[in-house]
Each structure stands twice: as C-alpha cells, then as structure tokens.
C-alpha cells in the first residue's frame, strides 16, 4: 500500500480528517432491446460517482394527544353550512402565521369581522408550518420537534404525532403522505449525529437517516425530490457536483446501485403524476442546453431535445396532470406532449422578455406575461389541437407581474402586485370579470374549490421582530377574502405582521391516516 494512502487512513483513525461514504462501481451503458414499445429507449448508469447512503434508525414517537374523534382529515366537518359558507360543501380553513402564533380559521362567517381561530400554536419564526400535500393534517415545527395535528371536528383539534430531530430546520411530506423528511444543517463536529431523517407518518417510526460523516457534497434543501403520484415509491437527489441519484423507498437503496451517468446537470423535475424525471443539462456553450425525459425505474429515455437557451433563465414547467411539459428557451418555449405517442414537441416563439408563465390546473391552456415594463402583454394559449399551440387572446398594455389560476382552471387573477392591482379574467369567455385597485399584498391564494381567493402582505420570517408593535389600521397587517368574481367579502386585521398564509378547502380525502391507524397507537 502506498505511503500516502497509509497516512490518509491513519488520519481518519485519529479523527484528524473526515471522509465521505462512497461506493464505486463501473458499468457499461445498456442499450434498449430492439422492438421495444417505446422508441429511443436507453438506460443511463453512472460509471463512477459518490452518493448519499442511508442508514437504518430505530426511533418511535407515540402520539401525544389523540382526539376524541378518530379519522384525521379536514373533510368530515359535520357542522351544517349556510349561504355564508359559499356553498363549498364543508368548512374551508385558512392558515396564517400572525406574528409568533400559527392560527387556523374556518369560513363559518367571513362576512363578519372577528373570525375566531379554532387552533393556535406558538411558532418559531425560522421554522415553517404547512398543510400536508393531500390536506390530511397540519404540520408544525418547533426547535427539535415536528408535530402533526388534526381531527374530525374543529372542537377537538389536537396533536396526533411528534417526530424528534435535534435543531430541525426544515421538513417535507411526501406527495402520498407516507413519509416525513426532517433536515438540519450538517455538523461535522458530530460525526454520529443525523442531519436528515425519514419517518413513517402512520406509525411515527424513524426509518433511515444520514449522519454527519456522510455529507456527500453537502446537498442543499430540498435534499429529497419525490417522484409524482401518491405511491411514494421513488425519490431523487441532486448534489452540488451535479450528480443525480434515484432511490426506491422499499429499501432506501440507490436504484441500480449507482447514480445516473449524466454530466453537467442543471436541474431536475419530476412529473406530478408519475415516475418520469425531467433533466436539464448543459450541452456545450453558454446558450446550449439539453432536456431529457427518463422513465423510472427502467431509466428509459422517453424524449431528448437540444435547446438554445440562457442557462440561468432556463426553467421547467409541468402541467399539474403531467400531460404537458414546457421549458423556457431563448426566444420562447419548447413544449412536450407527454401523453401522445412518441412525445412530439412544439415551439412557441416569444421574442420579448418573459416575466411569468403558468399552466391551467388540469387543463390544456396556459398564460404568459411578456414585454417591457411598464406596459406588458398577457397572452393565453391552448395545447388542445395536436401539433399546434393556438393563441386564444392577448391583453395588451397591461400592468402585470404574476398569474394565479383558479384550481378549477376557468378563471385567472392577473396581478400587478407592485402597483396593487388585480384583474379577474374568465378564460372560458375570454373576458374580464372585474378589476380591483389599491390592494396591499404580495401573495394571492385561491382556495381549492375556486370559490374565493385571499390576498395578504407577508413578511419574511427572518425579518420579523417579536417586539413588533402593529398599527391597528396598518393595511399590511390584514388579509382580505375576495369572491371569484372580485367582490370583497371579508377583511381581518391581525395583531402582528403576517408571515405565512394558506387557504385549503374541502378536498376529497386521500390521505393515509384513518381509524385503524389511530387504534394501533
């Protein structure tokens, strides 16, 4: 053994240096078999790279407060509704972070000021709180604990499970709500400490983690990027050295025992509905990129396209059903028709600066804001006709910087947040419904039913001071509820600056928490 290698190993034994856990394998590129059902199929396997290696952990966090009612979902609010509830079929909930308190409010009577919170929880300003992806439960974090909350009735809303992670900084829930990921910044002075944990949500049990000795190029949050759909079967990581690794959750091992054999990866993005991974790569030169679509777990190449684009401005956009995929290019957009045979592509030329792009949820239309300020254009297009991107209409000489589609897809709010203007636009009729001015907001949030929308001016977490003394008439300390037609329904003045806001409504329940799970605790 070489003297240099002996010295390196002695340093590791003495603790003078740190090592990154790696595995090295050499594979050849495997071509797809002839006669396959999809054309251009290839498998990409990494020749030699380092990657994250998960270790098993044994932690159990029993529930601390089981509500009297069982099923953990917001859908089963049994309180009768009246006309004041906008006929949404159940009590929608609004989450706001009012200073140092997380509050959940319901829309029992938006028309009367002074709505009562049915849930209050002290928040730590640097840590997030949010709904789970399917809306089954509410998640908070505070120092070393992440908690999930919920109930059947608003009167017994309580904590159902606690997950411990020392100095937790971030958390994430998988799309199907099966797994909770917690994260804190790696600390190399504690090689045995865990900087990332993955828990089973239904049991509270820790499954795997990453210790500080296995930092693997210090990946940044979000570390775990989940594949689309509710199966929670696969996830990917993208390291700082542009290595893409795909893992499967049945054993949390690297798929194919090696990272993907791809160099100069810029970014990755999963389809929202299936295990199709879009990868953006440098293709030589500052304005040449390549888009690659891979089917997981086979690592089969579904489509590949060379594009001319400015690397820093190149972004990927999936339609919510995974039917269409778009990439910003130099001078326009490249569109992929994912569900059509051969995945054909279309190019839309936009020869002006692009400010915003947004797909219609579950639909075939999209909107683009482009041009030079202060007068901009907003155009609406359709992908319904095969092989053609059809322009529906263009709104000229507009003040606009953001697009907010209704979850139903037929309405969109064209917002000029800097100027305080909102325009409610009906895309089915291609006509303006109403226009609102003097709105103090930097966020516009639809509720899932598409019946109404909230506007609020939020303050970044790091800028909030707990000693903040709010002016009771300050418009920046209030949120407003609007109808889908632009009518003002409700204004609520908060005691402190608002730092987060989310509207969530009576969705069809699709979560994993049920009576049987709670009985086993």
> 504 or 460, which is more confident?
460
CA–CA separation, 418 and 409 (whole Å): 25
Mean pLDDT computed over 317-329: 96
Task: Tell me which H or E stretch contains 491.
Answer: strand 488-493
Mean pLDDT computed over 231-259: 92
Mean pLDDT computed over 64-73: 36
Mean pLDDT computed over 239-260: 90
In the predicted model, what is the mean pLDDT of the chain?
A: 75
Q: What is the pLDDT of residue 491?
A: 80
pLDDT band, very low/low/confident/very high, at 401 (cuts 50, 70, 90): very high
Residue 77 has pLDDT above 70, yes or no: no
Residue 70: Cβ-neighbour burial (10 angstroms; 0-12, 13-18, 19+): middle
The beta-carbon contacts of 76-80 under 8 Å, at least 24 apart in sequence, are 76/152, 76/509, 77/106, 77/152, 77/153, 77/154, 77/506, 78/152, 78/153, 79/108, 79/153, 79/154
Residue 131 has pLDDT above 90, yes or no: no
Residue 157 has pLDDT above 70, yes or no: no
Lowest mean pLDDT, pick from 129-133, 358-362, 377-381: 129-133
Q: What is the pLDDT of residue 396?
A: 95
The fraction of the chain above a pLDDT of 70, given in percent, is 64
pLDDT band, very low/low/confident/very high, at 459 (cuts 50, 70, 90): low
> 504 or 168, which is more confident?
168
Tokens of 198: 């993955």
Residue 15 has pLDDT above 60, yes or no: no
Residue 450 has pLDDT above 90, yes or no: no
Lowest mean pLDDT, pick from 99-103, 184-188, 445-449, 499-503: 499-503
Strand pairing report for 498-504 and 488-493: unpaired
Q: Is the dihedral of CA 67, 71, 76, 78 positive or negative?
A: negative
CB 275 within 8 A of CB 297: yes
Q: What is the pLDDT of residue 110?
A: 53
- For the stretch 244-254, pLDDT in tens is 999 999 999 99
Q: What is the pLDDT of residue 43?
A: 43
> 61 or 334, which is more confident?
334
The residues facing 432 across adjacent strands are 425
Q: What is the pLDDT of residue 89?
A: 40
Q: How would you label 203-237 residue by residue, b for 16+ Cβ within 10 Å and e otherwise?
A: ebebbbbbbbbbbbbebeeebbbbbbbbebbbbbb
Nearest to 267 by CA among 214, 319, 312, 332: 312
Q: What is the pLDDT of residue 176?
A: 93
> 414 or 217, which is more confident?
414
Q: What is the pLDDT of residue 126?
A: 66
């Amino acid at each position: 053994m070489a003297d240099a290698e002996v010295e390196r190993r002695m340093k590791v034994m003495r603790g003078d240096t740190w090592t990154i856990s790696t595995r090295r394998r050499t594979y050849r590129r495997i071509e797809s078999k002839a006669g396959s059902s999809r054309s251009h199929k290839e498998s990409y396997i990494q020749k030699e790279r380092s990657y994250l290696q998960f270790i098993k952990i044994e932690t159990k966090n029993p529930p601390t407060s089981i509500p009297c009612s069982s099923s953990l979902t917001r859908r089963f609010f049994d309180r009768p509704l009246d006309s004041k509830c906008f006929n949404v079929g159940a009590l929608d909930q609004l989450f706001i972070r009012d200073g140092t308190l997380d509050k959940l409010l319901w829309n029992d009577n938006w028309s009367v000021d002074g709505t009562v919170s049915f849930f209050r929880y002290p928040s730590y300003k640097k840590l997030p709180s949010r709904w789970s992806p399917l809306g089954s439960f509410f998640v908070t974090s505070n120092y070393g604990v992440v908690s999930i909350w919920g109930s059947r009735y608003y009167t017994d809303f309580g904590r159902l499970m606690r997950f411990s992670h020392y100095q937790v900084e971030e958390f994430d829930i998988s799309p199907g709500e099966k797994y909770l990921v917690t994260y804190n910044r790696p600390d190399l002075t504690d090689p045995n400490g865990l900087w990332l944990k993955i828990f089973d949500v239904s049991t509270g049990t820790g499954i795997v983690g990453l210790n500080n000795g296995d930092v693997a190029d210090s990946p940044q949050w979000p570390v775990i990027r989940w594949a689309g759909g509710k199966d929670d079967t696969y996830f990917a990581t993208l390291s700082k050295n542009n290595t893409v690794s795909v893992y499967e959750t049945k054993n949390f091992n690297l798929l194919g025992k090696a990272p993907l054999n791809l160099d100069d990866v810029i970014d990755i993005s999963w389809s929202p509905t299936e295990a199709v991974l879009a990868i953006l790569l440098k293709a030589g030169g500052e304005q040449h990129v390549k888009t690659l679509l891979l089917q997981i777990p086979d690592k089969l190449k579904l489509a590949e396209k060379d594009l001319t684009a400015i690397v820093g401005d190149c972004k990927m956009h999936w339609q919510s059903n995974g039917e269409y995929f778009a990439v910003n290019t130099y001078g326009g957009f490249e569109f992929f028709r994912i569900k059509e045979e051969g995945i054909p592509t279309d190019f839309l030329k936009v020869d002006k600066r692009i400010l915003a792009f947004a797909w219609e949820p579950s639909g075939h239309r999209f909107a683009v804001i482009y041009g030079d300020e202060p007068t901009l254009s907003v155009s609406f297009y359709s992908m319904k006709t095969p092989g053609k991107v059809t322009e529906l209409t263009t709104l000229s000489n507009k003040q606009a910087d953001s697009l907010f589609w209704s979850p139903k897809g037929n309405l969109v709010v064209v917002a000029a947040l800097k100027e305080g203007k909102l325009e409610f636009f009906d895309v089915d009729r291609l006509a303006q419904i109403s226009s609102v001015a003097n709105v103090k907001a930097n966020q516009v949030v639809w509720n899932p039913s598409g019946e109404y929308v909230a506007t609020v001016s939020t303050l970044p977490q790091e800028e909030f001071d707990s000693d903040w003394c709010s002016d009771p008439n300050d418009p920046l300390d209030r949120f407003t509820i609007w109808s889908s037609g632009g009518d003002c329904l409700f204004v609520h003045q908060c005691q402190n600056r608002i730092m987060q806001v989310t509207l969530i409504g009576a969705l069809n329940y699709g979560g994993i928490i049920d009576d049987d799970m709670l009985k086993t605790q």
